[in-house]
Amino acid sequence: MTDTLDLPTKRQEEWRWSDMAALEAAAQSPAGEAPDADGWFIDGLDGPRLVFVDGEYQAGRSDAGPVTLEQLSADTDHPLGRRAAGAGWVLRVGEGGAKTCIQIVHLGSGGANHVPARIELAADATASIVETYAGTGWANRLTQIDLARGARLMRSVRLLQSGGFVSLRDEAEIGEAASLVSIVLGAGDMGSRIDGNLRLTGDGAFAEMGGALLTRDSQSQEAAVVVHHAKPEGSSRQIWRAVAADTSTASLAARVEVARDAQHTDGEQSLRGLLLKRSATVNLKPELEIFADDVKCAHGATVGELDKRALFYLESRGVAPARAQALLTRAFVADALDRIGEEAVREAFADNADRWLESAL
Amino acid sequence: MATKNAEALAAANKKYEWGFTSDVEQELAPKGLNEDTVRYISAKKGEPEWMLDWRLKAFAMWQEMVEPDWAKLDIPMVDYQNAYYYAEPKKKPSLKSLDELDPEIKRTYEKLGIPIEEQKVLAGVEGARKVAVDAVFDSVSVATTFRKELEEAGVIFLSISEAIKKHPDLVKKWLGKVVPTRDNFFACLNAAVFSDGTFVYVPEGVRCPMELSTYFRINAENTGQFERTLIVADKGAYVSYLEGCTAPMRDENQLHAAVVELVALDDAEIKYSTVQNWYPGDENGKGGIYNFVTKRALCQGRNSKVSWTQVETGSAITWKYPSCVLNGENSVGEFYSVAVTNGRQQADTGTKMIHNGKNSRSTIISKGISAGRSDNTYRGLVRVAPTAENVRNFTQCDSLLLGDTCGAHTVPYIEVKNPSAQIEHEATTSKISDDQLFYATSRGLDEEAAVALIVNGFAKEVLQQLPMEFAVEAQKLLGISLEGSVG
């Protein structure tokens, strides 16, 4: 199947920073033994636990709870997302229901695996999901989210694969006064492409997608998120942090689209990059597309190194240079991860980021 | 029927103050584009062999290229075969002074509303402020003023076809060095069929004694205009160049694919200002100019500086990114832009700052104003090479929306490969507040004047960068371009 991959190329505007060669290599890597699932769940969280190995659901090692396993079609024209058709998981929560902290661990041993997913929350329902990617190979996911009036979804995803490639495609419809918060941490050694398309289709909806991409060696990680405001009074946040070491590349492209009717939209983008080495690259594209005349859309983008004065201050207080650097970098990344709601999840994510920083700095 | 058309035309002409055509007999190249057209143009200009070869090579390359489509623009298909590639006003005996200029052409300049200072210069009024005008009427430079004074200073200010004959070495050295032939589809087409343009060379240590200026004017129906401008500022030289354009009204879309190349060597400075007011098409977007221009500056030397200032109010579609390649240590690139779109106009414009030199700095100030049913996009790139230490960039792009049927878009690309770089980007999108309008109208201004005033304030940072003569015209233009956009 690999010779019919037909991937997007750098000549396509939306893919100009993508490393599709890494994806191809991951897809062609031979399958081996997947790592053990146990270490990848976050302790102290009750709730259902699901394990997928190379895209296949492991009934014996899982407690699916409200999550069902179904055959899903890939109803999208996204070049990677549309490959994810077949057996996948579905979470449906009825009106006013609450399903918290569903943990899903995806383990890969090599080769390509595709899993579609669907999350449907009825009016005023709430749910939270934590997904963890470990192992290697190409993990390709399509997640379609539908939030009815007043529904709330907290989604946290961490990419901790030791190699290979992870591609995520999220497509969400966010109804009236509903809220979606999606936080992604890329702290493994795989390549990645995180694609998001969040549509605010009801008045006063809230959408947030952000996170931190930490890259080292010759790794390349990338996020490309579009938030589309179709209705008035909506707000959106895109807070991304990129830290690039060695010869790696971290790329962030975030776009806010405001349709004609979407007056009083409040959009915010904050893209910041930190370069740890001369040979690393950070690419940023904070994009605005505005058709309504009474909106507030702010975007900020900066790239650079750590503030020399802050470093000096810490050193003058007796903090060793390496530690001072780690502290400041940690604070830099924390901006994006602080948005995670559950404390245990937030701490686990911060831990993963810390471990990455310790080894990279 | 005929009267109806005439009436309609008259009514349409009224709306576009500068929409008129003057009857000057034209010599046209046969319609269509093939190798013979390229040879015809080259022969017509009496070009040397090497120039023809260069053109033919470009033409062969162009045939292999595909028209780009990545911009946020809706471009109707351009039929490259259904256009004339060369038009020249009928030969009159060679001119000794401006008084001998074809009166038709002279009247055209008057109607153009060339800044008063320059009109005086054209009319030969004594004591007028010195501005050298190299007027491009359709495709051939018909008059060049102040040549003598410039010659004394050692400045070469010629039409490019003359320069090819008189200074082949200089032209050969730099032509196509900043914008290579294969750079992009439209630059490549320009290389094959460029009709005329301007060549400026300012020698070492010379401060050009006056501001140089060219008026571009598209006149003949169906004539694509392919200007080629090359400005070289040698070590320590300074030159300020003004470019202004208006075009008569036409029904069919006209393609303008110019190439502008600037080269600044050690300690040199070039200031390039543009006011563009070509025909934007009628309210349904019919007609109007396609302005697909490649403008690029090479800051090759240490401490060199290039500053682009543009006021874009015309054209149906504007698609250009005046850029700076900052190779020199401590080199500086600046980009100040006001782009106004009204009616059905579309603009996708911005800049690229490519930082290769140590301590190079750049500033980008972009003001986009959209009204009517128009789309206005800022697209910019700031790139920092791994070897470029201590690069600084500041980017600010502000958009102003007048009405709720237009669009404002911001697409900044930032690509950084050196940690010592400091890159800042700021952007805002806003509308004219009711408070501002109320205040201005309560002081006795009508709504249109109030909007013009507020818009001029919004664009002030850019307008300030323009040379005096242009600043006045540009302010007027902003007001005129936005007429009918409020209320």
| Per-residue 3-state assignment (H helix, E strand, C coil) for B64-76 | HCCCCCCCCCCCC
Is A361 an interface residue toward B (CB < 8 Å)? no
Q: Do B431 and A284 touch (CB under 8 A)?
A: no
Q: Do A301 and B406 touch (CB under 8 A)?
A: no
The angle formed by the CA atoms of residues B389, B336 and A17, to the nearest 5 degrees, is 50
For B229, the token pair is 């401008």
Nearest-angstrom CA–CA distance, B150 and B132: 9
B384 forms bridges with which residues in the sheet? B355, B416
Is B386 an interface residue toward A (CB < 8 Å)? yes
Candidates A303, A305, A332, partner chain B, best to mutate (most B CBs within 10 A): A303
Nearest-angstrom CA–CA distance, B481 and B280: 10
Nearest-angstrom CA–CA distance, B328 and B464: 27
Q: Which residues of A touch B411 (CB under 8 A)?
A: 285, 287-288
Is B401 an interface residue toward A (CB < 8 Å)? yes
Enter the ipTM.
Answer: 0.84
Is A302 an interface residue toward B (CB < 8 Å)? yes
Is A245 an interface residue toward B (CB < 8 Å)? no
Q: Which of B407, B422, B426 faces A289 most closely, judged by CB atoms?
A: B407
Q: Do B416 and A282 touch (CB under 8 A)?
A: yes
Would B377 be classed as within a structural domain?
yes
- Work out the percent of chain A whose per-residue pLDDT is above 90: 80
Handedness of CA A333, A334, A339, A342 (dihedral sign): positive
Q: Which of A277, A281, A286 faces B412 most closely, judged by CB atoms?
A: A286
pLDDT at B253: 60
Would B3 be classed as within a structural domain?
no
Q: Do A293 and B422 touch (CB under 8 A)?
A: no
Q: With beta carbons less than 8 A apart as the criterion, state whether B48 and B165 touch.
A: yes
For A225, the token pair is 């998120």
Domain count, chain B: 1
Q: Which residues of B touch A259 (CB under 8 A)?
A: none
Q: With beta carbons less than 8 A apart as the criterion, state whether B385 and B417 touch.
A: yes
Q: Which residues of A touch B424 (CB under 8 A)?
A: 301-302
Q: Do B425 and A276 touch (CB under 8 A)?
A: no
B417 to chain A: closest CA residue:
A281
Q: How far is CA B329 from the centre of its chain?
A: 28
Q: Do B408 and A282 touch (CB under 8 A)?
A: no
pLDDT digits (tens, 9 = 90+) for A165-188: 999 999 999 999 999 999 999 999
Scanning A251-270 for CB atoms below 8 A from B yields 260, 263
pLDDT at B88: 63
Can you tell me whether residue B350 is helix, strand or coil? coil
Is B207 an interface residue toward A (CB < 8 Å)? no
pLDDT at B116: 46
The residue ranking higher by pLDDT, A136 or B103, is A136
Q: Do A297 and B429 touch (CB under 8 A)?
A: yes
Residue B124 DSSP symbol: T
Q: Which of B411, B426, B427 faces A285 most closely, judged by CB atoms?
A: B411
Q: Do B426 and A278 touch (CB under 8 A)?
A: no
Residues in CB range of B195: below 8 A, 6 or more apart: B41, B85, B86, B87, B88, B138, B139, B140, B225, B226, B227
Is A10 an interface residue toward B (CB < 8 Å)? no
Residue (of B198, B208, B197) closest to B154 by Cα position: B208
User: How many CB pairs below 8 Å do chains A and B form together?
Assistant: 109
B394 to chain A: closest CA residue:
A302
Q: Which of B410, B415, B426 faces A300 most closely, judged by CB atoms?
A: B426
pLDDT digits (tens, 9 = 90+) for A223-272: 999 999 999 999 999 999 999 999 999 999 999 999 988 999 999 999 99
Average pLDDT (A279-297) is 90
Per DSSP (E only), the strands in chain A are: 49-53, 56-57, 68-72, 86-93, 98-121, 126-147, 152-159, 165-174, 179-186, 191-200, 206-215, 220-229, 235-244, 249-258, 266-275, 281-290, 296-304
Q: Do B423 and A276 touch (CB under 8 A)?
A: no
Q: Do A299 and B425 touch (CB under 8 A)?
A: yes
Tens place of pLDDT for every residue, chain B, 487 residues? 344 444 544 444 445 555 556 666 666 667 778 888 899 889 888 899 999 999 999 999 999 999 888 888 888 878 888 777 776 655 444 444 555 556 655 665 555 555 545 555 544 444 445 555 655 555 454 445 566 778 889 999 888 888 999 999 999 999 999 999 989 999 999 999 988 888 999 999 999 988 887 655 455 544 557 889 999 999 999 999 988 765 555 545 678 889 999 999 999 999 999 888 788 887 777 778 888 999 999 999 999 999 999 998 888 899 999 999 999 999 999 999 999 998 889 999 999 999 999 999 999 999 999 998 899 999 999 999 999 999 999 999 999 988 888 999 999 999 999 999 999 888 888 888 888 889 999 999 988 888 888 888 898 888 888 877 677 777 777 777 777 666 4
Chain A: closest CA distance from residue B70 (Å): 7
Would B9 be classed as within a structural domain?
no
- Work out the percent of chain A whose per-residue pLDDT is above 70: 99
Residue A358 neighbours by CB distance under 10 Å: 11
Give the type of residue at A344.
A
Nearest-angstrom CA–CA distance, A309 and A120: 48
Q: Do B428 and A298 touch (CB under 8 A)?
A: yes
Q: Do A288 and B409 touch (CB under 8 A)?
A: yes
pLDDT at A329: 92
**Torsions phi, psi of A335, nearest 5?**
-45, -40
Q: Do A288 and B427 touch (CB under 8 A)?
A: yes
Q: Do B418 and A260 touch (CB under 8 A)?
A: no
pLDDT at A12: 86
Question: What residues make up the domain containing B44?
Answer: 18-481
pLDDT at B256: 85
For B23, the token pair is 């009857």
H helices present in B355-467, as ranges: 434-442, 447-458, 460-463
Q: Do A297 and B419 touch (CB under 8 A)?
A: no
DSSP string, B430-459: EE--HHHHHHHHHTT--HHHHHHHHHHHHT
Per DSSP (E only), the strands in B84-164 are: 87-89, 131-137, 140-144, 156-159
Residues in CB range of B103: below 8 A, 6 or more apart: none
